[in-house]
Amino acid sequence: MGGEAHNRYPLHNTRIAVPPNGTETRTATIRPSIRGNGVPLPAQNALSLTLTVLIPRFYNPDRHGIRKPIEPEKIEETEREMMGYFSGYQKFLIEGGYRDRGTGEEFYDALIRFEIDAEFDSGDRAFLNAWKQTLEERFQQRVIYMKLIGPVVWT
């Protein structure tokens, strides 16, 4: 763009605020286990795992039961973060459902499932928790589903 320098991975080493209980703020450093160029960072006891993240395609219903679509810019921002934090991802459009533990009410949703294979160590848990909270705020959700599974075995 216009000859100006563009940092493809601007989020590396970014510091974000993490409110642990909604009243005080502490800061976590975003430190991915894999550089944006796919070169693994040295990590003791790191495991190759798959991170699954489910992002809603619609906001929760308003008081009239209307569900508005999530703005494409928010999805694009999330994908840019993934490319900054990791070397790549897979994206799937899916549908899913869940039951609220408190009320027993059932909900069904249209989602985007992202899968990321990367090396994670115990130090990455704080990063993932902070990023999860960022996503919950961005998409106005009580919970964003995120899980690590593995180890990934390359054959």
Assessment of whether the complete model's pTM goes beyond 0.75: no
pLDDT at 154: 65
d(CA 145, CA 141): 10
Domains of the chain: 15-149 (3.30.70.120)
Range 2-14 burial, b when 16+ CB lie within 10 A, else e: eeeeeeeeebeee
Residue range 84-126, pLDDT digits in tens: 999 889 999 999 998 888 889 888 999 999 999 988 888 888 9
d(CA 43, CA 120): 8
Angle between helices 124-138 and 72-85 (to 10 degrees): 170
Residue closest to 27 by CA, chosen among 127, 138, 124: 127
Residue range 134-152, pLDDT digits in tens: 999 999 998 999 999 988 6
d(CA 96, CA 108): 6
